[in-house]
């Protein structure tokens, strides 16, 4: 039994959005730990951590909304995915500069967690870039569809 092109694209987009949701939720958890530590210590929340949780939450929420069937046909989806890509790339730049070249953490669990979180953010950025390109290609290929029998009505 073969899968049609439309069914295959639906399965691939579903897998992409599911991965985007998981990565967004993971980023919220990983950076939310630092926010909790700051609040428990009575300190101010670091703006970088708040930005990370905001981007992760926005990514997870967007991915959940995109899991709803037939939403991916609209033109705003690829544009919003492009905005999300920029947000994720900025997040990677902020934390990557700090933690990628850092020396061996020597048993400091928080620094080790942050070094791992940077690579998860990079995976999220890659997923959103792939999503933006895929949504644009899908939209471009389906933007001028006409009815099957008369070719008069635009769908």
Query: For the whole model, what pTM was predicted?
Result: 0.84
Confidence of residue 26 (pLDDT cuts 50, 70, 90): very high
**Better-predicted residue by pLDDT, 151 or 65:** 65
Domain coordinates of the chain in residue numbers?
Answer: 5-142
C-alpha pair distances (Å), 111 with each of 7, 16, 50, 129: 43, 29, 17, 27
Contacts of 127 (CB under 8 A, 6+ apart): 16, 19, 20, 23
CA dihedral 116, 122, 123, 128 (to 10 degrees): 150
Question: Is residue 4 pLDDT above 80, yes or no?
Answer: no
- Write down the pLDDT at residue 22: 97
What is the average pLDDT value for the chain, to the nearest integer?
Answer: 85
**Better-predicted residue by pLDDT, 70 or 10:** 10
What's the average model confidence in pLDDT over 89-94?
A: 95
Helix axes 5-40, 47-66, angle to 10 degrees: 150
Q: Residue 146 pairs with which residues in a beta bridge?
A: 154
- Write down the pLDDT at residue 16: 94
What's the average model confidence in pLDDT over 60-73?
A: 81
- Per-residue pLDDT of 32-44, as tens digits, reads 998 998 899 999 8
What's the average model confidence in pLDDT over 86-115?
A: 83
List the one residue out of 90, 94, 96 whose CA is nearest residue 118: 96
Question: Is residue 1 pLDDT above 50, yes or no?
Answer: no
| Token pair in block for residue 17 | 């959005």
């Amino acid at each position: 039994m073969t899968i049609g092109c439309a069914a295959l694209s639906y399965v691939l987009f579903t897998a992409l959005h599911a991965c985007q949701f998981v990565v967004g939720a993971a980023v919220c958890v990983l950076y939310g730990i630092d926010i909790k530590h700051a609040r428990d210590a009575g300190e101010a929340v670091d703006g970088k951590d708040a930005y990370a949780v905001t981007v992760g939450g926005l990514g997870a929420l967007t991915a959940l909304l995109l899991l709803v069937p037939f939403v991916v046909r609209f033109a705003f989806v690829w544009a919003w995915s492009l905005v999300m890509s920029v947000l994720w790339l900025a997040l990677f730049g902020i934390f990557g500069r700090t933690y990628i070249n850092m020396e061996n953490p020597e048993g400091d669990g928080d620094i080790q967690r942050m070094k791992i979180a940077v690579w998860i953010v990079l995976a999220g950025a890659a997923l959103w870039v792939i999503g933006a390109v895929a949504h644009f290609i899908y939209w471009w290929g389906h933007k001028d569809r006409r009815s099957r029998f008369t070719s008069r009505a635009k769908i």
